Structure 1
């Protein structure tokens, strides 16, 4: 894993690089482990204020006091278990009763966030440790304890079926039998749901332990996609030494058929499964199912295919009846993911995030479906809802104060809002189940993340510092920093949030080359007051000015700004990036003849759109893993912003880099991993085909067997080393 992969370079041009080595001096800037010490989100025993964590030696799971961080007792000692012994574990979770602990080993990634592993259950009374499945080669996915801790439901990574382990009897019961790779998934999502809805588990236990509800994904009619795998020398696979292998999976591109998703309820006592049919034929997606503190109240969240209508149903799984509980529609755009991802249910009400007012705000609804209270208002987007304290009668949330900051707030029963974190910078929070304790992570552009514990009352008391990253602050004390600016409105482009990183040492009398960096995706944000150390800081030490601007379509400036790109991605973003580039060119210390551009993923897409704009100032550009036609991308993401190709043929045509070649005259480097399961390598192939047909060329750098992140075996360092070399060739 420490060896550097020899990356194949394909030069489609006259001035391809003769080959370089990785810039080792850049390593401390681009590797996350070198940047800060991260503290994991705290875990608690259910409905309590007692924390649990691994001991420092990794051999015990212990309970901890939040107030002082001291160990209270050992819950599991790997050296003292009965029946089975484990030298180490990859992680753990504890049942709601606290009497059982599930640990896992042999963890392997599946896609971006999903994993499979071998799971074990430990009984804290008997100290017996047993595998969930006896077969040592079997792997499980997404296991979940029943509320009483006496059962575990899980999906088999081998056959896509759901099983229940009854811990009292050490027996295994099959819930489904129709699972099959690339056909049927039970209880775990398909690729699209995981990638675009963030779903990792699609099964929930009833509070009375008598029912397991789950989703079934029938992807039989979803087209297969496959890409080659090579022997390589990064995680070498000798099976492919002479002939490439391949990876095949279901990937629906825009306009194609999705998985058919259905809802089912399994009765623990009768072992019968009931099919639950929802009444609206417009339902295309079910991104969430949640029990809301009652066995006859399963909340099913649904979306139509256009993703501009969200409806919640309250379902009685045993009676298989349902009623509409809540509807949200957006005639001007799409339902923002926070609306369904951020749903929070309490015993008496639920809280919804909605952009109906023009900014994302919080609304409290009763289970009758009636609006009980508008919790927040104003011209500030709420970015997270943390929960409700019954003791304090207060809600806790995060908002984008001043658009580039993140502030933790508390609103009480009288509507009084109290800021619990500084008004500038970025604060995130994790609360105990009772909302009594809060761990806060705070940083700003000059301060690395500081993790502290607090009480969460109206006047929060700071209890202790978990990590202040003082060593990190010292190590990076002299690096170039971001300076936040407002780019003035110009033509049709509005005022834009931006930052500039200047070279060190900086000489105002010099004329420096500029790299314009952006991501630009809908709802995203790059310009934020938080600690970052990355390639841009190192490039500034090499004599580059870095400028980044968040154009229209990006987040946290209200719905109108974000939704302005609807049905026509790439058009307004390009206008705004050109406005930002003209602003950069006007700076007295910038050489306007040496402007470059860089972006990754959506940022790579926008880079290709920008270098094809008439009169653009970009002398050179680098696009990593770019989308080159939204018809090649997955249904959920592409159609959320563009609808289907049949509904928006002109929009798809004008927004595709493959159709915008004529005015592309910049030096261009494209980098892509051949095993990218997100933005397929074929995007790059098709773009280059259009370049060749137009008599144009670009440079290319391929990363064999690398996925969308391109990070294995020092590859992230290679990406930024190759990019620096390319800009040095063309902007110096």
Structure 2
């Protein structure tokens, strides 16, 4: 193993070389930190005011965003700021529109769970095309808000719950799903029209099925044409999908059996068909997606002239993506582009149909699998490669057709920093970086691509949002969120610990990035317990130079070294880096985490006998696999909501990375926790929500049973009514008090 040390470690090594041997563990106590677990989860958020869902009004005169209430960080309101000047102002108060928001339906609850929305109040909104009104779904109904007057009109007041409400592209209609059917309201006449009426039971129209929401990043099932003449809509038939009966134990002790159509790996998916409906008549024409119905409907986009719908279709194994062009007048479709890979296809939202009939698109069909921008002709042929190189394009932000420029987010200089760049549409010059700093940026551009809303953070700077010109110069703050007196985090700033960064080398020579938080009042002559945090799975990057979760501060300020390494298989390093776990999850990830552990234990200030490990979801799975494959490596572990057997998880995610169980029996066997359970030795705390509809509770129940059969000693905590995450201030305080106490007991011998 070769190691390239960060500069701070060179200093620590030099200091250690001329100092006495480290003190024995426990000789010096760490002062009780000011940052308590209770304050960490109270309101207002310690991160400060962090506006979300930022966008420009269509006329470019305002910026709108969602902001949490000062006295309750879980409730969101809609705010606005005029571009020409003035302070941000409250545009729509959620509690004025709906003082007593009714209970969510199961469909809406699942939509929010899939989108990881834990807030209440206004959680989404939609501008009309003229910038005169905003659509606000709230309280199960839909409000149409006049921006000039602030007056809100409730478009319906029904006992049913309306979901996925949107304003049509030209602002003449509002569409929504009710009782598994798609409806449209004419805003001028108020007339409501059912586009479909056959939905009900196991059949729905205009909705995304479970795996599309959870694993494909598609949370809608209908798409307006720009001229409002057509609506492309999905028909979903869940009758082939296995019915998984889950026992949900509620917070009040009640129990109910929930029938959930959950397609486990190797079983049948829902049948998804695509139709294009004429809005005026309701006439529907089916688009043939493939020769088989065992496919995934991935994305639908429209040409700017509404003459063509572009339909992205994945095969079941997700190693082939076909983009079809469909004629809305006939439903006839033909292949426009086909991509194949021996790894898997990663979907994006980067398809941009331009006004001249050409298309911008990002693809990983490049050397090394690095995602880059392509400019394609109307017939799908490649005009030119816009970007290239051993780095990753994150997403296309905007296209300036007048100046032939493309703006995008990417990781060019280092995978730890994310910046905004511009590049000529013809690819004739290298990208130009337009943002500054050593952290992470995100951006939302206006329609004319002359300004953007930019949000920046780094390890010492919580998210700051401002309005910027396209050269990167700041025009004005939207939310400076400065760490000054009055900021929620200001009282704790003196104790803030900044992570240090470095790289290690995997067994195959691959460079791996890590970050490390040193304990409060760090003394190189002491030895400290350490905690290794991990996720480890695809589509996740934990090591970066953005603002970090304050959980790291929580542990470091309590005397722990807090360490994270991104193993092979993680995100933003190209598809070949990610694809090394293909068909063998729980293998190379564990190898690389052990590289990190070996390095951690080699540090003089780390007590090698007192290193713990923890993670949630895939990180919970990794905690189990790491401690079982290296039973004497870690002193204790905490596994939250873990997958324990990939045959229990859903088709789209599992088969993308593992293939079909029938074709990879040995891979599934070795990737299961139960194949390694005879090596159980490391003390574990196991945690799961009893209403988890993603990693279903059965994963942990089976593990509890097997460990009990082995007479193994372990601890467990279940959360009634909680799904894949533990929500709410009181439960969060309970959860993290328990985890900290567990590690204190196992690694510090406290309690």
Q: Find the residue that maps to 2:678 and give its secondary structure.
A: coil
Distance 1:218 1:397, change over 3 A: same
1:685 to 678, 696, 701: 701
Q: Partners of 2:685 and 2:58 in 1: how far apart?
A: 52
Structure 2 partner of 1:151: 173
Show the counterpart of 2:344: 334
Question: Equivalences for 1:514-553 in 2 at 5 Å?
Answer: 514-553=530-569
- Counterparts of residues 178-217 of structure 1 (less than 5 Å): 178-181=198-201, 183-217=202-236
Check if 1:304 corresponds to 2:315. Answer: yes
TM-score, normalised to structure 1, is 0.87
Is the counterpart of residue 93 in structure 1 residue 126 in structure 2?
yes
| Equivalences for residues 308-327 of structure 1 within 5 A | 308-327=319-338
1:654-677 residue CA offsets vs partner (Å, 9 max, x unmatched): 001121112221111101110111
Partner of 1:260: 271
Matched residue, 2:362: 353
1:15-26 equivalences in 2 (<5 Å): 25-26=36-37
SS at structure 2 position matched to 1:28 = helix
> In the alignment, which of 72, 78, 83 is matched to residue 66 of structure 1?
83
Q: Contact (CA 8 Å) 1:30, 1:534: kept in 2 or not?
A: no
Is residue 685–residue 715 contact of structure 2 (8 Å, CA) maintained in 1? yes
Deviation at 1:60, TM superposition (A): 11
Alignment partner, residue 247 of structure 2: 228
For residues 342 and 226 of structure 1, do their structure 2 counterparts lie closer, same or farther at Cα, with a shift above 3 Å needed?
Answer: farther
Cα distance between partner residues in 1 of 2:515 and 2:78: 44
Q: For the Cα contact (< 8 Å) 2:689–2:720, is it kept in 1? A: yes
Tell me if the contact between 2:226 and 2:302 (Cα under 8 Å) persists in the aligned partners: yes
The alignment partner of 1:138 has SS state of coil
Q: Which whole-Å CA distance do the structure 1 matches of 2:94 and 2:86 have between them?
A: 22
Q: For residues 292-321 of structure 1, what are the alpha-carbon distances to aligned partners after superposition, in whole Å with 9 as ceiling and x for unaligned?
A: 212221111110011111111111111111
User: Quick check: 1:394 aligned with 2:419?
Assistant: no
Quickly say closer, same or farther: Cα 1:598–1:272, change in 2 above 3 A: same
Q: In 2, Cα distance between the equivalents of 1:271 and 1:45?
A: 31
The 5 A counterparts of 1:457-468 are 459-468=471-480
Q: Residues 139-183 of structure 1: CA distance to partner in whole angstroms, max 9, x if unpaired?
A: 201122233322222110xx21111222333222222122124x0
TM-score (norm 2): 0.84
Partners of 1:586 and 1:336 lie apart in 2 by 37
Do structure 1's residue 275 and structure 2's residue 286 form an aligned pair? yes
Q: Check conservation: 1:599, 1:607, Cα contact below 8 A.
A: yes
Q: 2:389 aligns with which of 375, 378, 383?
A: 378
* 3-state SS of paired residue (1:521): coil
User: Does 1:102 pair with 2:113?
Assistant: no
1:39 to 34, 46, 51: 51
How much has 1:569 moved relative to structure 2? 0.4
Question: In structure 2, what is the equivalent of residue 697 of structure 1?
Answer: 713
Q: 1:287 aligns with which of 287, 294, 298?
A: 298
1:30 deviates by: 5.0
> RMSD of the TM alignment (CA)?
3.0
Q: Does 1:451 align with 2:465?
A: yes
- Structure 1 equivalent of residue 451 of structure 2: 437
Matches within 5 A, 1:559-578: 559-578=575-594
Change (3 A) 1:99 1:650: same
Q: Which SS does the other structure have where 2:524 is aligned?
A: coil
Aligned 8 A contact 2:41 2:729 in 1: no
Quick one: distance in 2 between partners of 1:71 and 1:85?
A: 22
1:417-432 to structure 2, matched below 5 A, reads 417-422=431-436, 424-432=438-446
Q: Give yes or no for contact 2:504–2:514 (8 Å, CA) kept in 1.
A: no
Question: Which of residues 682, 686, 690 in structure 2 aligns to 1:666?
Answer: 682
Distance 1:322 1:509 in 2: 70
User: Contact between 1:493 and 1:575, CA under 8 Å: does it hold in 2?
Assistant: no
What's the secondary structure of 1:594's corresponding residue? strand
Q: Does 1:162 align with 2:173?
A: no
Name the residue aligned to 2:511: 495
- What is the Cα deviation at residue 719 of structure 1? 1.9
Alpha-carbon distance in structure 1 between the residues aligned to 2:100 and 2:40: 34
**SS across alignment from 1:396:** strand
2:572 alignment partner, SS class: coil
The aligned residue for residue 599 of structure 2 is 583
- TM-superposed CA distance for 1:62, in Å, is 8.4
Distance 1:493 1:125, change over 3 A: closer
Helix, strand or coil at the partner of 2:476: strand
1:142 aligns with 2:164: yes
Residue 365 of structure 1: CA displacement?
Answer: 1.2
The more displaced of 604-613 and 284-293 is: 284-293
Please report how far the alpha carbon of residue 71 of structure 1 lies from its aligned counterpart in structure 2 after TM superposition: 8.0
Match of 1:676, SS state, is coil
Q: Confirm or deny: 8 A CA contact 2:310 2:324 kept in the other structure.
A: yes
Distance 2:430 2:65 in 1: 35
* Structure-2 separation of matches of 1:56 and 1:626: 31
**What is the Cα deviation at residue 461 of structure 1?**
2.7
Cα separation, partners in 2 of 1:250 and 1:582, compared to 1, 3 Å: same
Which residue does 1:133 correspond to in 2?
156
Q: Distance in 2 between matches of 1:704 and 1:549?
A: 32
Answer yes or no: is the 8 Å Cα contact 1:503–1:543 preserved in 2.
yes
Question: 1:617 deviation in Å?
Answer: 1.1
Q: Tell me, yes or no, if structure 1 residue 507 matches structure 2 residue 530.
A: no
In structure 1, list runs of 5 or more residues that go unmatched: 1-22, 107-116
Question: Over residues 248-282 of structure 1, what are the superposed CA-to-partner deviations in whole Å (9 max), with x where a residue is unaligned?
Answer: 22111101111110011222333322222234437
* Partner Cα separation in structure 1 for residue 551 and residue 98 of structure 2: 44
Which whole-Å deviations, capped at 9, do the CAs of 1:538-561 have from their partners, x for residues lacking one?
A: 111111111111111012222222
Judged with a 3 Å threshold, the aligned counterparts in structure 2 of structure 1 residues 102 and 87 are, in CA distance, closer, same or farther, namely: farther
For residue 52 of structure 1, report the CA deviation from its aligned partner. 4.5
Cα displacement string for residues 446-497 of structure 1 (whole angstroms, at most 9, x for unaligned residues)? 22222221111xx333211222222346334233534333343264574321
Moved more, 392-401 or 305-314: 392-401
CA contact (8 A) 2:458 2:546 kept: yes
Asked if 1 retains the 8 angstrom alpha-carbon contact of 2:265 and 2:661, the reply is yes
Unaligned regions of 5+ residues in structure 2, if any?
1-33, 70-74, 102-120
Aligned residues of 1:29 and 1:35 also touching (Cα < 8 A): no
Q: Cα offset for 1:130?
A: 4.4
Report SS of the residue matched to 1:564.
helix
Of 725, 728, 745, which aligns to 1:712? 728
Give me the whole-angstrom Cα distance separating, in 2, the residues matched to 1:155 and 1:574.
44
Change (3 A) 1:729 1:321: same
Other structure's SS at 2:311 match: strand
In the alignment, the residues of structure 1 paired with residue 551 and residue 731 of structure 2 have an alpha-carbon distance, to the nearest angstrom, of 13
User: 568-577 or 556-565: which moved more?
Assistant: 556-565
Distance 1:440 1:419 in 2: 14
